[in-house]
Structure 1
Amino acid sequence: MAAPELIQDDEDVRPHVEVNVTAVNPDTPPHPPRVANGNPTRHAPSPPTPPSAGAAEKQPESSKLSSLFKQNQLINSLSSGLRRHCDYVKIAVPDERANLLPAEWWKTAVAFLYALFILVFTTVIITVVHERVPDKSVSPPLPDKFFDYVDRVPWAFTVTEVNGLSLCGLWLVQLIFLKHKAIVLRRCFFLIGTLYMYRCVTMYLTTLPVPGKHMVCAPKLYNDSTGKIWRILSLISGGGLSLTGSHLMCGDFLYSGHTVMLTLSYLFIQEYSPRWMWWYRWFCWFLSASGVVCILVAHEHYSIDVLIGYIATTRTFWWYHTMANTHALRQAPNNYLSRTWWNPVFNFLERNVQTTVPVVFSWPVALPSSCRQRYRMVEGGRDE
């Protein structure tokens, strides 16, 4: 009886192990216990024990955890996508703008040499043309409609030169405080040189008689080369102004150089000044317009001289700045402005300027550390 009791005791223990196995894999039927001789014991299979209350509580909790985990994964994926999108649309504008507006002072120096050469060459042409001006007794002044209605005012030409000097001084001060002065300065030099080169061509091709008998012209030197050189140096030193007494030669009528400087100074002041300074623009316009009118009132130029000078200055300025500010025109196949003779020079000067020059002011010298933070607020509000 000892062996059956041991077997019965084993049977009491084994069903508990089999229940645990069926809980892990319920599809697999339980194996009956075996004895040492290999014959299974015969007994009725015990029914599976029902799951405990703790296991039933764990199943909803695990489902809740899985759903929360999926929601967290969805939120993380959306937030990462939004972060990628925000990083994509952010553009470092100040850095790119700084790279698109290189100073390139060496190009400005080339433009300065070009303008200087043309201005010196203009004095040479004036000296040459002066020798061809017909005498007033032989060729009287040409008829002019403005002269027919407006009598000559002797002091009017002095007003013209004072206004011109004032505009040039204002533009020089404004240019010193511009941030991108290197780009603006080479544009100014190129336009001055080009317009005075046109003037050399027109006054050399057609020499007009003096516009009034009041004009006093220096005597002709004919073959005196040394005297002509001294006249050229005198004209250069005095800036070609009547106020300095350096301009006593005649023949440089077509077209008016005073009109060029009055108009060009105002156009640069208007283009590179902030919009809120409207009063400053109107004041400069008044100086320019009154100076041009006084040229005619003084009877120092024919009306056609002033008209051609105004047309040549404004059109050349507008053509150049249209090409400089509209970058799509530079490579456009139907851009007729690119057919100008100075287009290769324009490409050389403006090749690396890839955006419109903003109106930003800055101090020409380094500020003390105590003033830098205060000035940044003022400088930031002037960028247009």
Structure 2
Amino acid sequence: MAASELIQDSDDIRPHLEVNVTTTDPETPPPIIANGNPVCHASSPTPSSPADGKKTAHEGNKMLRSILKQNQLIQSLSSRLQRRCDYVKIAVSEECADHLPAEWWKTGVALLYSVFILFFTTVIITVIHERVPDKSVSPPLPDKFFDYVDRVPWAFTVTEVNGLILCGLWLVQLFFLKHKAIIVRRCFFMIGTLYLYRCVTMYITTLPVPGKHMVCAPKLYNDSTGKIWRILSLISGGGLSLTGSQLMCGDFLYSGHTVMCTLSYLFIQEYSPRWMWWYRWICWCLSASGVLCILIGHEHYSIDVVIAYFATTRTFWWYHTMANTHALRQAPNNFLSRTWWNPIFNFLEKNVRTTVPVVFSWPVALPSSCRQRYRIVEGGRSED
């Protein structure tokens, strides 16, 4: 096959080929020109006639140009082959080649799960509000933190502001993550699961208000229509005191604000690059100060915050231990697989067989004209 054909068909060359191209002087006799004499060098005697000399010089120049073209062709082929042979081919099994599929439909299922649990939480809060004992009959329970720290009225506002900042930072970070489909469904699942736990603890044990400063909305008893309006008001305001939607009492065990501050920070920490340590420290300060201000404002008992912290961190760490260690999923001695949500976990993480890397990408696809220019630029670089 000619060298030019090898260059044109360079796509068929495999990276693992080793080609040693050397140029040696052929041991064949010098080419014969028309008059039967070999090609003469500078030291060879001059031809007998001027006409023969001109013809010989012309043929010699033509042969020299042909040899130079062949050498250039060989050098070009050698450089192309060496450039391609510089790459090391890494064998990747087909099983791990597509180990991070998006599967947005599973993310949609996780979204429906979290939305249903959040709606169910508002219903439970409305129900237990009717059972909260009057603070004149049942005074606040003794709390060691309250004995040493007096209440600061504006502290709970700091908590909600910090929580909104953390949620906003997490949404912006999530927007630029490459594997956002997997990360979002993990977030939705944990929000739904943690608030499901909260529904159980709130319903089975109704604590009195933690402070006499709290003003609770009047009880409606058998007014079903009024209860529905309260549920809608709680949903529209996001359950925040800043929006005026949180006027009901009884949702103390455990703290939902602690869940959101802690969970937002855990996701920010897990899915941010290591070099952004300053960003992590800022988020940690926002989360820690937000949780602390819940107690300073006397809006929750200390046990509410402690249980919320342990429930959030352990659920997050257990889930990611299972997700990042594929060998644990089928291990017979894996006690983490005995959790009640293990079948849901297997459904969501079935095709995720490795740790999700922290990779950022531009979420909006570039226009076709920009992509074409990018290909032209890349093609020009590869020719260098």
TM-score w.r.t. structure 1 length? Answer: 0.73
Cα pair distance change 1:93/1:164, threshold 3 Å: farther
Q: Give the Cα–Cα distance (whole angstroms) in 1 for the partners of residues 272 and 94 of structure 2.
A: 23
Question: Within the alignment, does 1:347 sit opposite 2:341 as a pair?
Answer: no
Instruction: Identify the residue that residue 193 of structure 1 maps to in structure 2.
Output: 192
Aligned partner of 1:255 in structure 2 is 254
Structure 2 counterpart of 1:325, one-letter code: N
Deviation at 1:98, TM superposition (A): 5.5
Shift of 1:210: 0.1
Secondary structure in 1 aligned to 2:194? helix
SS at 1:255 equivalent: coil
Deviation by residue 1:322-379 (Cα, 9 ceiling, x = unmatched): 00000110011100000000000000000000111000001110135658969xx9xx
**What is the distance in 1 between the residues matched to 2:350 and 2:205?**
37
Partners of 1:253 and 1:128 in 2: CA distance: 14
Which stretch shifts more, 163-172 or 90-99? Answer: 90-99
In structure 2, the CA distance between the partners of 1:184 and 1:197, relative to structure 1 (3 Å rule), is: same
1:119-268 matches, cutoff 5 A: 119-268=118-267
The AA in structure 2 aligned to 1:181 is: K
- CA drift of 1:93 comes to 5.4
Normalising by structure 2, what TM-score?
A: 0.73
CA distance, structure 2, for counterparts of residue 223 and residue 102 of structure 1: 50
* Residues 252-304 of structure 1, C-alpha deviations (whole Å, 9 max, x = no match): 00000000000000000000000000000000000000000000000000000
Report the alpha carbon displacement of residue 96 of structure 1 after superposing the two structures with TM: 6.9
Counting aligned pairs with the same residue, the percent is: 88
- How far residue 91 of structure 1 moved from its aligned partner, in angstroms, is 2.5
The alpha-carbon deviation at position 90 of structure 1 amounts to: 3.4
Q: Distance between the aligned counterparts of 2:334 and 2:96, measured in 1?
A: 26
1:84-133 deviations in Å (ceiling 9; x for gaps): xx9xx932559876610000000000000000000000000000000000
Look up the SS of the partner of 2:232 in the other structure: helix
**5+ residue gaps, structure 1:** 1-85, 378-384
Partner of 1:301: 300
The 1-side partners of 2:91 and 2:104 are apart by 26
Cα 1:178/1:93, change in 2 over 3 Å: farther
Greater than 2 Å deviation, 4+ residue runs: 89-98, 367-374
Q: Which amino acid aligns with 2:288?
A: A
What whole-Å deviation, never above 9, does each CA across 1:122-155 have from its counterpart, x for those lacking one? 0000000000000000000000000000000000
- Take 2:293 and 2:99, find their aligned partners in 1: how far apart are those partners? 43
Secondary structure of the 2:307 match is helix
Aligned length: 289
Secondary structure of the structure 2 residue equivalent to 1:311: helix
Q: Tell me how large the CA RMSD over aligned residues is.
A: 2.1
Aligned mates of 2:312, 2:104 — CA distance in 1: 25
In structure 2, how many angstroms separate the alpha carbons of the residues matched to 1:252 and 1:156?
A: 19
Q: Which runs of 5 or more structure 2 residues have no equivalent in the other structure?
A: 1-84, 379-384
2:297 and 2:326 mapped to 1: Cα distance?
43
How far apart, CA to CA, are the structure 1 residues paired with 2:308 and 2:237? 22
- Partners of 1:98 and 1:167 in 2: CA distance: 35
Q: Which residue of 2 aligns with 1:100?
A: 99
Cα deviation, 1:31-74, whole Å, max 9, x if unaligned, reads xxxxxxxxxxxxxxxxxxxxxxxxxxxxxxxxxxxxxxxxxxxx
- 1:289 maps to amino acid: A
SS at match of 2:98: helix
Q: In structure 2, what residue type is equivalent to 1:316?
A: T
Whether 2:349 is the aligned partner of 1:359: answer no
* Structure 2 counterpart of 1:83: none
Q: Which moved more, 1:93-102 or 1:140-149?
A: 93-102
Separation in 1 of the partners of 2:110 and 2:337? 19
Residues 172 and 240 from structure 1, CA distance in 2 versus in 1: closer, same or farther, beyond 3 angstroms?
Answer: same
Determine helix, strand or coil for the equivalent of 1:100: coil
Which residue of structure 2 aligns with residue 272 of structure 1?
271
Following the alignment from structure 2 to structure 1, what is the Cα–Cα distance between the partners of residues 240 and 136?
A: 26
Query: 1:138 and 1:163, CA in 2 relative to 1: closer, same or farther beyond 3 A?
Result: same
Deviates more, 1:281-290 or 1:362-371: 362-371
